[in-house]
Chains A and B, each alone.
Chain A
Amino acid sequence: MVGTSKPAPLNHVPRSMTSSPLRVSSPRHGCPVTVVTAVQSGAAPLSPEVTQTGGGAGMKLLTHNLLCSNVRGLRPGGGFPLRIQASDVSVRPVPFNAAFVARLVPRLRWGALLEAAESLGHPSELPPEPAPDYEGDEAFLRRVHHVLLEVEVLEGFLQCPDSGRQFPISRGIPNMLLSEEEA
C-alpha cells in the first residue's frame, strides 16, 4: 500500500520491488571453473570469450524425454523423440530421491528413455516397461534415477526425427530457437 504509514513498533522491512544499482567490489568466486579458451592464470581479466560452465553441467535425459521439435508443418507426434547426437557426455551424481523418481515414471515416454540412454552409450538396464509395483522397488528406481538425472549431454545436437532439423546443445544448454524463416 503506497503511502500508508506503518505503526512504529513493527520492524519496517524495506521493500525492494525493483532492483536498484548494487555495489559489488570483489569479483565472485564460488565454484570450480572450466576454462575452455586460452585465458589461463595470470593478469588477463575475464572476458566474454572465456566460457565457464561452473563444473560442466549438461542436459539431462529427463528433459530430453519431455522435449519435442517445434518445426512447423510436422505431422502430429512427428517431432518426438529428438535424436541425440552427443559429442560430449558426462555423468554427474545427484542425490537419490525415490519419491521424486516414482512420481516421474508415469510422465515418461519409456521407450524413448531407454533408446536415448542406449544411444549415449549408457544402457539403462531397465525393463521394456515399468513393473506394476515399481513404486516400492528401490533398485529399479535407482536405475531410473541414474539414467534420468545423472547422465548429461554437454555438447551435441538434438535432431528432429521428421524434418532433420538440428538443435544445438552447447555448454549443456539446448537452443530450441527457430530461425526467422522456419518460424
Chain B
Amino acid sequence: MALPAAALRRYLLLLAQEHLEFRLPEIKSLLSLHGGQFSGEQEIRVNSPFWILNIPSEEMARGLMKRTVCAKSIFELWGHGRSVGELYASLKNYPVDKMLPYLQSDSTYKIHIHTFNKTLTQAQKIKKIDALEFLPFKGKVNLKKPEHIFWILEDYGMDPNNVPEEPFHLYFGRWIADGQRELIESYSVKKRHFIGNTSMDACLSFIMANHGRVKPNDVVYDPFVGTGGLLISSAHFGAYVCGTDIDYNTIHGLGKATRKNQKWRGPDENIRANLRQYGLEKYYLDALVSDSSRPIWRKGMLFDAIITDPPYGIREATRRTGSQKETVKTAERSTENHIFVSSSYHLSDIFFDLLKFAAEYLVMGGRLVYWLPIYRPEYTEEIIPRHPCLKLISNCEQMLSSHTSRRLITMEKVKEFKDQDQNSYLLDGQYMPYRGHNSFREKYFSGVTKRIAKEEKDNQK
C-alpha cells in the first residue's frame, strides 16, 4: 500500500536500549500485523533509541504500542532538528491546524523533557521548557493529570564518556501511548509458579511472540514446551496454545524443582497452572508427551505459529526415542513407563526436523520462531538452516559468551508443502550446512573454550 508521503504522519518512537538487534524485526512485524508497512525510507539509526517512523494513522501507532516490549513510548512528531534553532524552525513549520486541537483553552497539558546520555538540572529543564513559549498553548498546565502531554527529547549521543554540551538531535512531540514494557516485570520468571532450568526470560518471550506475528485466536504450538514459558506470551496476546515435550515429568509437573531451597515441585507447577497464574487459562489447549522428531499430528496446515526454544544439549539433554539404550534417571520416581530415551540426537537433526515440521504444519504466512545455538568462531550466515517452503525473515544474535551465542531465527511459510519433494531438497547442499555445529556441546565445554579465553587474556596484555 504505497501512500504519498504527505498522507503519512511522522511519529517518534522512543526505544529501550536492550536487545538492540531484536527491535527492528519486532517493530516491522507489529506494523505489518496492523496493516502497515515498514518502508525502506524510514529514518532509522538502528542502535539509537530514537526512530522516526512514517505511519498512516494514529490508530496504527496505538496498535503497535499495545504489543511492543522493545519500545517505551510513541509521539506524534511536531518538530525536530540538530540544534535548538532547527527544532524551533521545524515547529514553526508544523501546520497550526494540526496543533490546535490539543492546545485548546479548556484543556490541560504538561511538558516533559527527556534526555538521553545526559542528566540536566531542574533549572536547565525549566529553561528549555519555557523557551517553547512561542507555541500557541492556550490551555492550563496540570502536572498531575493533564489531558495532553508533550515531550521535548534530546539525544546526547551514544558515548557516556564523551557527552556533548549541546544535543545532537532534538525532538518535540505529543505523547500518544506507552509500550508494554511493564509486562517484563509482571511476567517475570522470578514470580512464576512453574519454572525449569532453561525458562526463557519474560522480555525475550514477548519478543518471540511478536516476531512470530501472533494474533488473537491463533493456534500456537511449541514442540519443546518444557514449562510453557513461551506459551504464556502468546496466550497474553490472545492466542490459544499447546505444547509437547519428550520429558514426562516436566509436562506432568513432577520431579525435582528448579528453585533453590525447594525439593520437589508443588501442586501448582505445571503449564496449565502457569497460565492460570496470569488469568490466561482459557487459552490453554493441551500439553502432551511426545518426541518432536516423530510428529503426532495428522498432516495438514494446523498451526498459525510455532514458537520454540529447542534444547542445545548443554543444560537440557537432546534426545529422542530410538534404538540405543540409556539408563533412565531413577531420582524422579514415577510408576509409569514413560521414557525410552536414547540415541544421540544431533543438533542439526533437531533443526532439520523442526523446519520440515514447520513447512508442513504451518498455515500459509504462518511463522516459525526458534533459537539457534552458535559457535561464533565458525559462524557464517550460510549455516542458518533453510527450507524451500520457508523464507528467512530475521536473524538476531544474543551473546552468551565470547565464543558462543544464540540467534533468534524467524521464518515465514511462503510455499505449500508437497509430499513428493519432502526430502529431495537435501541433495542441494545449501540446505543443511549447520552440521558443523553438531559438536556445539563439545565446543562449548571443551578445552577450546579455555584456549580462547587464554588467548584473549594474552591479547589484552
B117 contacts the other chain (CB 8 A): yes
B291: which A residues are within 8 A, CB to CB?
Answer: 176-178, 183
A66: which B residues are within 8 A, CB to CB?
Answer: 297-298, 302
* Interfacial residues of chain A within 33-70, with CB under 8 A of chain B in the complex: 33, 46-49, 52, 54, 57, 59-60, 62-63, 66-70
Closest residue of chain B to A49 (Cβ to Cβ) is B333
Given A19-B198, A66-B302, A70-B294, residue A173 in contact with residue B289 (CB < 8 A) = yes
Are B18 and A22 in contact (CB-based, < 8 A)? Answer: no
A7: which B residues are within 8 A, CB to CB?
Answer: 17, 116-118, 156, 158, 160
Q: How far is the CA of A80 from the CA of B295 in the complex (A)?
A: 13
Q: How far is the CA of A97 from the CA of B217 in the complex (A)?
A: 9
* Least CB distance, A116 to chain B, in whole angstroms: 13
Are A180 and B342 in contact (CB-based, < 8 A)? Answer: yes
Shortest beta-carbon contacts, A-B, top 6? A7-B117, A30-B268, A52-B267, A21-B260, A176-B290, A68-B298
Given A2-B399, A17-B400, residue A60 in contact with residue B261 (CB < 8 A) = no
Are A60 and B285 in contact (CB-based, < 8 A)? Answer: yes
Are B288 and A99 in contact (CB-based, < 8 A)? Answer: no
Q: How far is the CA of A99 from the CA of B255 in the complex (A)?
A: 39
**Chain A contact residues (Cβ within 8 angstroms of B): what range?**
35 or more
A73 contacts the other chain (CB 8 A): no
Are B298 and A54 in contact (CB-based, < 8 A)? Answer: no
Given A174-B289, A177-B340, residue A52 in contact with residue B253 (CB < 8 A) = yes
Q: How far is the CA of A176 from the CA of B295 in the complex (A)?
A: 9
Chain B residue total in the interface (Cβ 8 A): 87
B287 contacts the other chain (CB 8 A): yes
* Interfacial residues of chain B within 15-65, with CB under 8 A of chain A in the complex: 16-18, 20, 49
Closest residue of chain B to A20 (Cβ to Cβ) is B260
Q: Is the interface of A mostly helix, strand, loop or mixed?
A: loop
Are A48 and B264 in contact (CB-based, < 8 A)? Answer: yes
Partner of A67, one of B16, B282, B296, B301: B296
B160: which A residues are within 8 A, CB to CB?
Answer: 5-8
Q: How far is the CA of A152 from the CA of B336 in the complex (A)?
A: 21
A75 contacts the other chain (CB 8 A): no
Partner of B297, one of A57, A67, A95: A67
B375 contacts the other chain (CB 8 A): no
Are A8 and B117 in contact (CB-based, < 8 A)? Answer: yes
* Least CB distance, B85 to chain A, in whole angstroms: 24
* Least CB distance, B114 to chain A, in whole angstroms: 8
User: Of B141-149, B321-329, B434-442, B447-455, which stretch is located at the interface?
Assistant: B321-329
Are B288 and A176 in contact (CB-based, < 8 A)? Answer: yes
Chain A 89-110 near chain B by CB (<8 Å), digits 1 or 0: 0000011010110011001010
* Interfacial residues of chain A within 1-19, with CB under 8 A of chain B in the complex: 1-2, 5-10, 13, 15-19
* Least CB distance, B211 to chain A, in whole angstroms: 17
B255: which A residues are within 8 A, CB to CB?
Answer: 48
